[in-house]
Amino acid sequence: MPELPEVETIRRNLQGLILQKELGQLESYTPEVLVNPEDLDPSGQTLQSLDRKGKYLVFNFDQASLLVHLRMTGKLLFAGPGTDPEDDKQEASHLRARLTFADGSRLLFDDLRRFGRISLFPLGEAWRDKGFAGLGPDAIGPDWTWEDFWAKLQRRPKSSIKGALLDQTLVAGLGNIYADEVLFRAGIRPNSLTGQIPEDKVREIYRLVPCLLEESIGLGGTSFRDYVNSFGRKGHFQLSLAVYQKEGQACPKCGAIIEKIQVAGRGTRYCPDCQKAYTGQKAKGH
């Protein structure tokens, strides 16, 4: 699933390409992908801003907000005004929706698994989407403060730290990849209990989260199988990963073998030597 760095990379790709353009037509080829309870038609409206919160993109037109969630395999691909619309299904082999602008440029919503969604609401009412409404502060935004993070963790002392980081109501934007990588850099086992991690170590997590995410954005995000940016290009942060999908390999810091366990229902990688467990008991298998 694209996480904050991948979605932010797409937003930055598109920022200079489609802002202030008039939308000619919004077409949906897979009914469940387009959620439009009020049957809104943004055709003829100008795109005034393109925002992001967590893993969501918000396209604000004159009178409508278009909310995009890529979910597992969604892509947003840009086709320039000089390209042939007849070629769009070759560029986007799983084309689910298409935004065509007045100058002939197009934004193609491609999604192999059809879990992604495009939702239309009256302008400024994207909060009517329950997932979007429930988001906590953005992980690289000014609203995510140390005081907020610490207070929320204190209310859930028996939660695993990885489970807390994956909770989008606590902080928005982190997923499996970056939670594992942040905790490796912080030297904390993912199954550590939030109530047992020393405050200075929690501060280190808080400091590392935006640093790691911005580092990934600078490299265009992480690409394995599905994610590409709006120009169809892969990111490069996968070359910098220390533990994610590295089970059975040597830790880049100490040489110990990276292990995989289940935490918060997700496959989780960690170094048994570099990452300390704060669980109140001896870690399983060690």
Please identify which residue in the block is written with the tokens 């439009």: 36
Of 5-9, 88-92, 162-166, 278-282, give the lowest mean pLDDT range: 278-282
Q: Distance between CA atoms of 244 and 237, rounded to whole angstroms?
A: 11
Q: Which of 2, 5, 42, 137 is catalytic?
A: 2
Query: Which structure tokens are listed for 160?
Result: 């695993």
Q: For residue 285, what pLDDT is reported?
A: 35
3 as an active site residue: the answer is: yes
Residue range 61-65: mean pLDDT, rounded: 98
Query: What is the arithmetic mean of pLDDT over 168-191?
Result: 98
Q: Which amino acid is at 44?
A: G
> CA 97 to CA 102: how far, in whole Å?
17
CA distances from 121 to 8, 118, 172, 179, 213 (A): 22, 10, 21, 32, 29
Among candidate residues 71, 203, 266, 276, the one labeled active-site is: 266
Question: Can you point out the beta strands (E) in the chain?
Answer: 23-28, 34-35, 49-53, 56-60, 64-69, 74-79, 95-101, 106-111, 117-122, 259-263, 266-270
pLDDT digits (tens, 9 = 90+) for 106-123: 999 999 999 999 999 999
* pLDDT surpasses 80 at 41: yes
Tell me the whole-structure pTM to 2 decimals. 0.95
**With 90 as the cut, is the pLDDT of residue 259 above it?**
yes
Residue 10: is its pLDDT beyond 50?
yes
In this predicted structure, the answer to whether residue 282 has a pLDDT above a threshold of 80 is: no
Does residue 2 have an active-site annotation?
Answer: yes
Active-site position among 11, 52, 53, 55:
55
User: What's the whole-number mean pLDDT along residues 13-38?
Assistant: 96
pLDDT of residue 269 exceeding 80, the answer is yes
Q: What is the pLDDT of residue 284?
A: 43
User: Looking at residues 186-200, what average pLDDT do you find?
Assistant: 97
Model pLDDT, residue 286: 32
pLDDT of residue 281: 58
Region 60-72 average pLDDT: 97
Bridge partners, 78 (sequence order): 107
266 a catalytic residue:
yes
Is it the case that residue 179 has pLDDT exceeding 90? yes
Mean pLDDT of 33-41: 96
Q: What pLDDT is attached to residue 1?
A: 79
Percentage of the chain with pLDDT > 90? Answer: 96
For residue 204, indicate whether it is catalytic.
no
**pLDDT for 283 beyond 90:** no
